Structure 1
Amino acid sequence: MAPATDAGKSAAGLGVVILGYLGAGALLAGLVLGGFSALLSFWAGIRESPVFIQIGRRAFFGAAAMTALAAVLLEVALLTHDFSLAYVAEHTDLSTPTALVAAGFYGGQEGSLLYWTLILGLLGSASLVAGASLGGRVAAYATGILAVILSFFLFVLAVVASPFDLLSITPPDGLGLNPVLRDGGMLIHPPVVLAGFAAFAIPFSFAAASLLAGRVDAAWIRHTRRFALLAWSLQTAGLLLGMWWAYHVLGWGGYWGWDPVENVALMPWL
């Protein structure tokens, strides 16, 4: 029985390593596709090439898909208590309820960045599909700007702060979430406010693209209005939930403390 047990452990360990490498590979592939999309889209805007515009847009979709794959792999690692990943070991443990284990996805810096990048990729893809009728140059420049932003986050995730870093020794249990975050508010406040931050990139990208293309009409405003309203609504909900959560959990004695985190969330809302 011992050889069979050892073989099972080896297979499980191999699966863990493969999961980590797959996640890191997905981030790297997304970075390559995002960079390619940015360069090609700006070139397509200058040359006004419909073929290059389409290829650049599809490369952005590919980068968003790779980001989504990385997000799924990280969530799988969290839910299966894969403590070989440093991020999982640092932000979950065996005693944490399943809902909060899943919320550990954005419980740390690396996971929050991945969640932000995921929302940016999904909303960016939706905006590019809906904005194809704005004209070749506007669509190309918007794709390029969104791809630059997406590539920046993917570079940080792939090179600087990867959630798929492997530990040399797998611990039997993790450290768990910060005690302050072990609350139901963790399930709603962080994802809403982070999604609001990510959504603001859409109107910015199309506004900048219209300026680069020399378009001074209101077509881009009509297109991005729904995304601007979505971003503002998410940020509003995030701020209100943050006020409630701070009062409910931290006991600040008030709903607003003018600390840096609150102020950073307030600025884009204004």
Structure 2
Amino acid sequence: MSGNIKLLSDTLAKTRSADRAALIAYLPAGFPTVDGGIEAVKAVLAGGADVVEIGLPHSDPVLDGPVIQTADDIALRGGVKIADVLRTVREAYEATGAPVLVMTYWNPIDRYGIERFTTELAAAGGAGCILPDLPVQESAEWREHADALGLATVFVVAPSSQDERLGTITAAGSGFVYAASLMGVTGTRVSVGEQAQDLVRRTRATTELPVCVGLGVSNAVQAKEVAGFADGVIVGSAFVKLMLDAPDEAAGLAAVRALAAELAEGVRRNN
């Protein structure tokens, strides 16, 4: 079975043709449990998310803030494995038909094996991978396997990225470009700010790929702001925090579904 990059591209094209941004949700696999994580992914998609990113928990998540670090720690202490991440992808995709990506640091894939990981991700119905710490100049082997299996390779650009560097990154990527709205780690922010809008403008000058903004969006007002200039709005920590703060799993699932519905309204620019 080949991967679902076409499903991802079609989904993003559909939201663009509807004159709205896509809502992309992030949740780590194995949190609060493997089964609970799968239900959380289904809940955000039922609430209105268009695409979902499944985080592969890592012991040293240098780009993640305290909320996602806490969830990763819970997942790792629960014994989550790459097989559980792939099961989460498979069950989410089979239940919803939505594009499902994995967001992961490079080290776990390097240890697992590029060919093995890409083959199993494609077999699970995955749409691709977001690889925040894989340098483009070291990505040729990954991209060769991903391209052959129909998997997107999503790279991350940051406000510090110079225009020439942006061109190099976007030329190597596929699916969409992940624009980090600010320097720093993941987490909710009071304001997403003009930095993100400038980064989207500069990134779009280098590519036809959709440009989706993450890091800091946590409510419908911010989602609406980002939807005014980006092709997609990526929300992670806000969902994870609801699950962390909930008194039980059922309450957490209801909360993330409700937030997804609120954000889905926010990304509809004409509201």
TM-score, normalized by length of structure 2? 0.22
- Higher Cα Rg, which structure: 1
- TM-score under structure 1 length normalisation: 0.22
Q: Which has the higher strand share?
A: 2
RCO higher in structure (CA 8 A, sep ≥6): 2
The structure with the largest helix share of the pair is 1
